[in-house]
Structure 1
Amino acid sequence: MAAPTPLPKTGAPARAALAAVGIRSLDDLEGVDLDGLLGLHGVGPKAVRVLRAALAERAADA
């Protein structure tokens, strides 16, 4: 089993909010509505853009 792909740097508040809902790697974001993450305290539009870009880059590498 491959090691999980780490989350990109999103800032401590966003990282803590994501971890609180069980998102600790890019793998955990598969099938997640990223816009829905905006409702989490600490996750703003910039963090969602960073996550979306990281997922797109990972898909392009596959």
Structure 2
Amino acid sequence: MAKSIKAICIDRHSVSNDFLKGIVAMPARRALEKKKIDSLEKLTDYSEEELLQFHGFGKTTIQKLKIYMRDHGKSFKL
């Protein structure tokens, strides 16, 4: 039996770590992994405007990240 398209996409585009799992959606997590951003410290090197240029990032994702980063004593680059 052939695999469904969703199963193929999951196999080919999975994220290899758990960074921000449950915080932001998979498209944003894949974009971060592609840019080798795998910690909050690396995320602080980027501004909100820069992150909004990444595929999978929108205002909702940025808002979730701002709250998560604030709760962990971090913030975006100004």
Query: Which TM-score applies when normalising by structure 2?
Result: 0.60
* Amino acid aligned to 2:52: L
1:8-32 deviations in whole A, cap 9, x for unaligned? 5201000001111111222221232
Percentage identity across aligned positions? Answer: 29
Higher relative contact order (CA 8 A, sep 6+): 1
Highest Rg: 1 or 2? Answer: 2
Extract unaligned runs of 5+ from structure 2: 1-18
Report what 1:15 is aligned to: 29
Corresponding residue pairs, total: 55
Question: Would you tell me which structure has more helix in proportion to its own residues?
Answer: 1
SS of 2:55's equivalent? coil
CA contact (8 A) 1:17 1:41 kept: yes
Deviation of the 1:37 alpha carbon = 0.4
Extract unaligned runs of 5+ from structure 1: 1-5
Q: Runs of at least 4 residues of structure 1 off by over 2 A? A: none
Query: Which TM-score applies when normalising by structure 1?
Result: 0.72
CA contact (8 A) 1:7 1:26 kept: no
